[in-house]
Structure 1
Amino acid sequence: MKLSKYAACTLIALLIILLSGCSTLAGSDDPNIEKGVLDLTDWNFSSDGNIKLDGEWEFYWDRLLTYKDLDSEVPDLHVQIPSNWNTYQINGAKLTGEGYATYRLHVKTGLPEGTMMGFRTNVFSSAYNLFINEKLTASNGRVAAAAIDEVGEYRPQAVVFSIPSGEFDIIIQVSNFHYARGGFWYSVYMGSAENIQNFHDSIMGKEVFLLGALLIISLFYFAIYILRRELRYTLYFALLCISIAIGIDTVGQLIITRIFQGISFKTVILIWYCSAGWIVSLLISYVHELYPSKFSGVAKKLFLCNALLWQVLCIFTDPVFYTRFGQISNYVEISGYLCTVIIVAIGLKTENKNGRLNTISMIIVLVTYIHDVLYWTNVIKNDFGELFYAGLFLFIFIQMVIQAKRIKLFHENETAAELSFLQAQIKPHFLYNTLNTFVAISYYDMDKARSLLTEFSHYLRRSFDFKDLSQFVPLKNEIELAKAYSEIEKARFEERLEITFDVFEDLEVRVPTLILQPLIENAVIHGILPKTEGGRISISISQEVKFLIFRVKDNGIGMDAKKLLDVLRQGNRKGIGIGNINNRLRRLYGKGLDIKSSPGVGTEITWYIPLNSREE
């Protein structure tokens, strides 16, 4: 199966992004941190901007040291930051995830004492204190040397401080007794106070916008599902958007902890880990609804069971235990995204029109997730950080385009089915009376009987014309059906019924089908026939600027305002009533029938068809 050129270009672009992330910071313009020292004497924070404090920091394991303590201490290692300490070895022994340590970086700025600077910190596992020399500048939770004393917290923040001199130490104490992997996970940014605050506000603003957009989208599709329960994929899509929003926040700015301040640290980790499993399960359920197959049905059940079992494991065990299986969880999630690609590929094989576009969106999700797994495990580094949730947002956007097409097609098919039903309605009494009329006329006027049979064949042909079930037909088709019906009725009721036509010359103009003839029929049955002496119906079609003006006028019995309102309200009853026609025109053009009627005088019905809105 060949992907379209658009899919290929998208894949190539994503691979370039992925590969670009493999370049380390050594090749960037930022000064290098070597052996715990960063020289920024040539760095201009106003013009050069913020700097990531990535590089070799001093690492002191199993010690929570202060500025004064460090004068007499020797580091166990110089470690590359960011990274988790589970990958470190001291004297040949690999460190465990649980424990505590101190990191130190000596910074040379050349700036005068009292210069206002700022840090932008993400999260550490599981609590930290950040000092400038001996002064505490930022913290999350409570750092401790024992699990019982530690309080974990994840809260990205921006902090401002004044430098004590041109050179100073950044000292970070970290403890971890709540998570399987501990350490200095993410980059810390340093810059001028204004730049850091702007940087932090930008990150927060982007996430708030993203979460708001996802929640609005989810509410919109929930509303669609409530109104149209048969569109089950809209329910899964709404739930998927909510899960993605939760997932984005738990690996992002943790706005949820700012809104619900009583939420525990363990609950934050629980939501983080469970959301990933539900995203995969709901994504597969969603694509299964779009492209059902045996494979998608099996995948849906398997990943639903996986999400439920993973949820149970996370609820009933400690985060230190279940977070050890994070790597396995990543592999399961990657396999889930692969399954979505396969499901869509099966849909593409069956010549589904949206298959290629869906394949592109699934590839985006897969590639960005693989990128982030490598980023989270510090295999790759880049300047733009995580991509997965941006990829998911792009996926959501593409899916909204696809769903808009599907909903449009759904309503078109529904309309076509309705029109098919209406076209097939030949009232038995009309059929019997018409045949009896032919028999009666044939006794005294065979030519007229033949002519009426011809008109009747035209009427039947148009009534049973199912080749084109669109809402629009050439004007000549509508006029032919209306004239055929009119001739038959005139033959049946003879001098009691007079029908005249004055029509627009361009008969190829496309107009909504089954509007004109049903309104003539209503005028005959409900307007003229109740009058003993009968009456007259005039049909006119004219052009005025960019509109076709249709008018059906009779001098029948008419109706009062209450009766007219009742007629218009009967839009949901079976048959082609005035109410149904009025509703159809409103849906198409925003304006329905203009009806003027007076008891004993007659009824005039007018409607307008924009010429520039007709289908070609």
Structure 2
Amino acid sequence: MYQFKKFAVLVFVLLLAFPLLASCRSKGHTHKNLPYATSGILDLAGWDFKTDGSIRLDGQWEFYWNKLLIPQQFTISKTDMSTVPSPWKSTVVRGDELPDDEGYATYRLLVKMDNIPRNAALNLKFVISSCKLWVDNKMVYASGIVGNSAKNHKGKFTPQVIPIAPEMNQFYITLQISNFGYASGGFITSIELGDMLTIVSQKNTRSFGDMFLFGSIMIMGLYHLTLFLLRRKEFYTLYFSILCFLISIRTLLMGEMLLYNFIPDIPLYIFLKISSSTLSLGLPFFVMFIHSFFPEDTPYWFVRISQIVGVLFTTITLTVNDKLSSLFLMPFQICGVLIIVLILFILSKAAYLKRDASHIFLIATISIVFITINDTLNGYGIIKTGFYIPIGLFLFIFVQSFMLFRKLVKQEELLLRSELRMLQAQIKPHFLFNALNTIISVSRSSSEKTIQLLLYLSDYLRCGFSFKNDEEFVDFDTEILHVKSYLEIEKARFSDKLNIVYEIDNNIECKVPPYILQPLVENAVRHGILPLKNGGTVRLSVKKTDNMLYIVIEDNGVGMTEEKLNSILNGTDKTSGIGLSNVKGRIQRIYKRKIKIESAIGKGTIICITIPII
């Protein structure tokens, strides 16, 4: 528990470290104020692109609403200004906000520099929904078809690094934008100016990070989907795998938007629908994941409401155009906030009731909420600490993956314990019944042999009752006494049909898990020797060499086919009982080793176990 709490604290620190580090980093660069465009002019005098890096062309641009002007047409001396980046719906023209996200406009900015970089370039990421760009009088970029109506307009998204070569130290950047049918039209992301090599290098670094996140989260999703296919009753692995798939897809739609590198001809409306659907579907699946972990604390009506909200908004997103679906965005955001508040309440309740893993679950969820708030405030320009949702989601997914692994391990341990208890309950009644019958039969002819058998039975029961659970180690001598007591009673029962040979080193002092020998010896007797008409021999060999214990259980009984042997080794055989599978499972879990089984029809079976001495 102490180690688990340390892990929880570490996760909390990691998830909250990114905004703090970014804040410190941004403070470290305040030695030089970032230039900001004013009245349509951006003065970059004194800015060195090699030492200071690239610069965003943010600030006040000249703004011509409902006009598509080319550089040669600018003759108007007085014009409006628009803050860039910003959508049209938040743009104020002559004291009035623009009425709609649909329309067309021209932006222009004068850039003044001391020296033009030899390999100057502009980095354009996302403009909704079509645009053209000129540097001075030369058109250097076009995305989609810019038009003054929905009929002659075509939206497209083409992120690109554009090389430019201005002829003078001051030059104009002219940008035409049109939008019809999409929400949030306008100049919504910054244009970056800098050295081509620097911009491309930074872009490649960010792309590598996005690909790493995508691949890592996708692998986690595939792994947990495989777990669900193998263990169909554990639905939390299915919900978690779907969450991983949705988040991994979203990483391709954020940052450098790599989906367009993979599918460059994807229409803009499909891009926007996929982006919205990952959010609307992710919320109900996260609630279902929470419910599968804490069913006692998560009301079923809450799960149903989240499913209805997610399916409803996803259906709207996929069936109507982007502009119409944006009308439902605010109601969905309100519902999403309420659902997250309820999730935090449920996790807080689970933590208060000390549910298993609830504390780290709560810490991880609170942390990702804080990171989301950080990115939202950055998006609105309120703070400048950087965007860390992708990394935050990766760490969040990593934590949840750890929680699932821990839950699966605990379930496996509980299963092995229950099987061991079943094994004890199964052995004691049937063996006790047969042993008593044997002792009664022997008592008619030999009182001394009867006493000896009663002592064997006493040892057998004493050893058996001393085994509490599969986590408890017992002395090797106790385990051997348990096996010998069993075999001596069985030998008295079957007389000459059963021969026993012991090859056990003296002075073996170590601890072993209980019931790792008796079930295997019983299998050798019942399934190997007894089916033979004339019986056979069971050989138990235990050798100690170099701090390792070598155990061999061998019989010359009926043996088994290669097909049956493979099914036993693969764990698919249901006829070998729980004894063999339980021993295999515990050896694998405790020692990370496998038992070896060799068998042939008519020759018998050999089982080998090699474990370190404890």
Shorter-chain TM-score bucket reads 0.7 to 0.9
CA contact (8 A) 1:582 1:592 kept: yes
> Partners of 1:565 and 1:146 in 2: how far apart?
72
> Partners of 1:513 and 1:503 in 2: how far apart?
18
Deviation per CA, 1:480-505, whole angstroms, max 9, x where unpaired? Answer: 22022023124334566554545456
Matches within 5 A, 1:6-21: 9=13, 13=17, 16=20
Question: Which residue of the partner structure matches residue 92 of structure 1?
Answer: 95
Question: Which residue of the partner structure matches residue 156 of structure 1?
Answer: 159
Matches within 5 A, 1:569-580: 569=567, 571-575=573-577
Question: Which residue of the partner structure matches residue 515 of structure 2?
Answer: 514
Question: Which residue of the partner structure matches residue 442 of structure 2?
Answer: 441
CA contact (8 A) 1:125 1:181 kept: yes
Q: Which amino acid aligns with 1:271?
A: I
Unaligned runs of at least 5 residues, structure 1? none
CA contact (8 A) 1:10 1:360 kept: no
Q: Which amino acid aligns with 1:246?
A: I
1:76 equivalenced with 2:80 (yes/no): yes
> Partners of 2:530 and 2:251 in 1: how far apart?
69
Matches within 5 A, 1:7-406: 9=13, 13=17, 16=20, 29-77=33-81, 79-96=82-99, 97-111=101-115, 115-293=118-296, 295-376=298-379, 378-382=380-384, 384=386, 386-406=387-407
Deviation per CA, 1:202-236, whole angstroms, max 9, x where unpaired? Answer: 22222223222222222222211111111101111
> Partners of 2:58 and 2:31 in 1: how far apart?
12
Shift of 1:270: 2.1
Is 276-285 or 34-43 further displaced after alignment? 34-43
Deviation per CA, 1:566-613, whole angstroms, max 9, x where unpaired? Answer: 4564543152576886687577655433547795xx75735232316x
Shift of 1:437: 2.3
Shift of 1:383: 5.9
Question: Which residue of the partner structure matches residue 411 of structure 2?
Answer: 410
Matched residue SS, 1:34: coil
Shift of 1:399: 0.8
1:351–1:294 Cα change, 3 Å: closer
> Identity of counterpart residues, as a percentage?
29
Deviation per CA, 1:397-452, whole angstroms, max 9, x where unpaired? Answer: 11111111112222222222222222222387654442122223334544543442
> Partners of 1:532 and 1:63 in 2: how far apart?
102
Deviation per CA, 1:35-66, whole angstroms, max 9, x where unpaired? Answer: 22222232221222211222232323222222
Shift of 1:156: 2.2
> Partners of 1:27 and 1:320 in 2: how far apart?
43
Is 360-369 or 586-595 further displaced after alignment? 586-595
Matched residue SS, 2:153: coil
Matched residue SS, 1:468: coil
Matched residue SS, 2:149: coil
Matched residue SS, 1:424: helix
CA contact (8 A) 2:106 2:174 kept: yes
> Partners of 2:546 and 2:352 in 1: how far apart?
49
> Partners of 2:149 and 2:36 in 1: how far apart?
35
CA contact (8 A) 1:33 1:57 kept: yes
Shift of 1:459: 2.3
Q: Which amino acid aligns with 1:250?
A: L
> Partners of 1:343 and 1:575 in 2: how far apart?
42
Q: Which amino acid aligns with 1:548?
A: L
Shift of 1:539: 2.7
Shift of 1:88: 2.7
> Partners of 1:527 and 1:26 in 2: how far apart?
81
Q: Which amino acid aligns with 2:119?
A: M
> Partners of 2:325 and 2:561 in 1: how far apart?
71
Shift of 1:269: 2.1
Shift of 1:76: 0.9
Question: Which residue of the partner structure matches residue 543 of structure 1?
Answer: 544
CA contact (8 A) 1:158 1:200 kept: no
1:511–1:29 Cα change, 3 Å: farther
> Partners of 1:381 and 1:365 in 2: how far apart?
18
CA contact (8 A) 2:423 2:579 kept: no
Matched residue SS, 2:291: helix
CA contact (8 A) 2:12 2:367 kept: no
Matched residue SS, 2:427: coil
RMSD (Å), alpha carbons: 3.5
1:349–1:424 Cα change, 3 Å: same
> Partners of 2:246 and 2:601 in 1: how far apart?
59
1:156–1:516 Cα change, 3 Å: same
> Partners of 1:129 and 1:499 in 2: how far apart?
91
CA contact (8 A) 1:7 1:356 kept: no
CA contact (8 A) 1:232 1:289 kept: yes
CA contact (8 A) 1:18 1:371 kept: no
1:217–1:488 Cα change, 3 Å: same
> Partners of 1:429 and 1:313 in 2: how far apart?
64
CA contact (8 A) 1:100 1:175 kept: yes
Q: Which amino acid aligns with 2:458?
A: S
Please give the TM-score of this superposition, normalised by the length of structure 1.
Answer: 0.86
Matched residue SS, 1:268: helix
CA contact (8 A) 1:567 1:579 kept: no
Deviation per CA, 1:135-170, whole angstroms, max 9, x where unpaired? Answer: 122232222222322212233221111122111112
Shift of 1:128: 1.9
* Length, aligned pairs only: 603
CA contact (8 A) 2:68 2:105 kept: yes
